Amino acid sequence: MKRTLIVAAAALVLAAGCKDKKTMENPFFSEWNTPYEIPDFSRIKTEHYLPAFEEGMRRQKAEIDSIVNNPEAPTFENTVLAYEYSGQLLQDVSGVFFNLSECENSPEMEAIAEEVTPMLSAHEDDIALNAALFARIKAVYDQREGLNLSPEQRRLLEEHYKGFVRGGANVPEAQQARFRELNEQIASLTLRFAQNVLKATNAYAKELPDGSKVTLDVPTWEPFMQSCTDRKLREEVWHAYADRCCEGEFDNTKIIDTLVNLRLERANILGFPTHADWVLDDCLAKTPANVYSCLMDIWEPALKVAKQERDIYQKMLEKDEPGAKLQPWDWRYYAEKYRVEKYAIDDAEVRPYFALDSVREGAFMVANKLYGLTFKERTDLPTYDKEARCFEVMEGDSTVGILYMDFHPRASKRSGAWMTEFRGQHRTLDGRNVMPIIQVVCNFTKPTADRPSLLNFDESETLFHEFGHALHGLLSNCTYPSLAGTNVPRDFVELPSQVMENWCRHPQVMKMYAHHYQTGEAIPDALIEKIAAAQTYGQGFMTTELLAASLLDMDYYSIKEKQAIDPLQFEEHAMQKIGLIPEIISRYRSPYFQHIFTTGYDAGYYSYTWTAILDADAFSAFAESGDLFNPELARKFRHLLASGNTVEPMELYRQFRGQDPSPKALLVRKGFVPAK
């Protein structure tokens, strides 16, 4: 309480325009005096965030008040553009704080997040529910046919109008207090959920007989599950991973129960029967029925193949342990064993050719051949951690943007891999282009004293995937911040990332970048053929666990009535309903399913499959042309990347492909149907 009062007092001083020493020292209150206006990480301290958040909210409130109180009639310029460019300080501090809280977390950062999250929720509601502001935007929207707007201006107007409606602008006054309360509670619960998962993941480390240890970070957990011959030990470590946050100190089950019901109530207030209906109304899929149909089209062939895989592994287990029944903790072990036997290939043979730096250079090479980009490492630019590498992205002599790549696990970093931005590309009101500052974060095994970080092939695809997101941000060429880069519907945003995986796995491209970390020898043709032959191997399992998670997500957010939810029972029923075999579980069990409970993929996890159809279809255009770097197709796809959300996404896709996407390429790629 004392700290809160001190911060509040400081905010009052700022509001009065008094520049005391403490205020002047806060780096957020002045322009970054750094190359390319990169955040001045070395000067930013934890005590700077709260004052900056509060001042950012105060400034944006003043900007909104200025729009609302403008005596002139509403116009695109004095209302829509003024709103679009409001809140710059708040965006700056949010862009630093929330990105670093994901990869440089600490008890101090957690405390700030807990304090500022409800403040931000209330601030956002103050804007979304500002009747006078919405009235001015609606007045411009209603006149849109006669305003002679450019296509991008029209898109901005339409998106802001839709955003206000979706954000509650039409919520009856009698329900607005409850609506605000719901938003605040949802924001706080998602934060607690994420913190519990991080703490539970960091809390486990199993000492092994050889002196090493296994943790729940996937880069160490999965290789252990693939190689451990001790079945009881596999079972113990599997349960440690799969039962996280199910009970005890970091229990997330009650949070799920509350969160799902709160989101349903909010959707009802907004006029939608379910939370999924509300989410999908702003996506390409549009309705839950369309999502279920898409997923089930892939589910049936995937489950059929998964059952065939199960039967193979069951026989292998019986040879080792007569009478034993295959369990989830056996799957990865026997899948890897069979892969080695069938394809005469194992990770130990593959990894030396996929050193992290080689794979990264491979991704850079593809971007160069497609788009003419080059990547120059800069050790002189500001960075937030000694492990984060910084690259200046160039096209010819011009700088396109800045790319940070942060590859290895830390206790302060959440698990998984993601792309985000410290600053998105856009143009200022006076037309100056603001270049993007992009961040790619992964969790690959750290190098040792005598060898670099060596990736398995899945991890190599992960790097290409996140780099694809980065290209979407780096190649953005839009005017307005809210339409630029990756600010596209969720079931379209994965296209630029997933399509890059196709180049990663293509034999011709692999030959260009996969070199032995010791000898420099290019990967042998025989090994490329083994990897290529194994591409469809295990797709039953991988696709089934992904679809199971996607269907579980949809089930949570398709409920139509408030109900008591036991997530473990709910999950079990959802898996039984679709016929998931007991040897496989959902890719993420509910209590640690961060995509749908914290990171914005609620009723949206299906988008990985939805866009897999797009990416397979898109890459087939390059493959069918006979040139994987076809200049004309690359130019068209770059236009798709550069356009952000300035054009309806499926129209962008049709402009590139010349037709609607077909799922056939995906089914062929996974080996579910023959190529011809």
SS3 per residue for 135-192: HHHHHHHHCHHHCCCCHHHHHHHHHHHHHHHHCCCCCCHHHHHHHHHHHHHHHHHHHH
Q: How many helices (H) and strands (E) does the chain have?
A: 29, 9
Any idea of the CA torsion for 338, 342, 347, 350, to the nearest 10 degrees?
A: -170
* Alpha-carbon span 353 to 517, nearest angstrom: 6
420 SS3 class: strand
Strand partners, 441: 406, 418
* 489 within 8 A of 653, measured Cβ to Cβ: no
110 SS3 class: helix
| Extended beta strands in 416-540, E state | 418-423, 426-427, 433-434, 437-441
Query: Both tokens of residue 290?
Result: 């369309």
Measured at the alpha carbon of residue 56, what is the angle toward residues 141 and 48, in degrees to the nearest 5? Answer: 155
* 306 within 8 A of 541, measured Cβ to Cβ: yes
| Extended beta strands in 205-344, E state | 205-207, 213-215
Say which amino acid occupies 229. Answer: T
559: left (phi over 0), alpha (psi -120 to 50) or beta: beta
222, 309, 336, 466: the catalytic one is 466
Measured at the alpha carbon of residue 416, what is the angle toward residues 413 and 420, in degrees to the nearest 5? Answer: 75
Per-residue exposure over 186-222, b if at least 16 CB sit within 10 Å of its own CB, e if not: bbbbbbbbbbbbbebbbebeeeeeeeeebbbbbbbbb
* 139 within 8 A of 161, measured Cβ to Cβ: no
Tell me the H-state helices in 477-606.
490-493, 495-505, 507-513, 525-533, 539-557, 567-578, 594-597
Measured at the alpha carbon of residue 597, what is the angle toward residues 596 and 603, in degrees to the nearest 5? Answer: 35
Say which amino acid occupies 90. Answer: L
| Number of Cα atoms under 13 Å in the Cβ half of residue 307 | 9
Query: Both tokens of residue 30?
Result: 């002045």
* Alpha-carbon span 613 to 663, nearest angstrom: 5
- The whole-angstrom distance between residue 600's C-alpha and the CA centroid of its chain comes to 8
Measured at the alpha carbon of residue 218, what is the angle toward residues 215 and 219, in degrees to the nearest 5? Answer: 90
Residue 123: phi and psi, rounded to 5, are -65, -45
Let me know if 63 is a catalytic residue. Answer: no
Per-residue exposure over 84-116, b if at least 16 CB sit within 10 Å of its own CB, e if not: bbbbebbbbbbbbbebbbbbbbeeebbebbeeb
* 475 within 8 A of 641, measured Cβ to Cβ: yes
Termini Cα distance of the chain: 69
* 417 within 8 A of 102, measured Cβ to Cβ: no
Strand partners, 437: 402, 423
Catalytic residues: 466
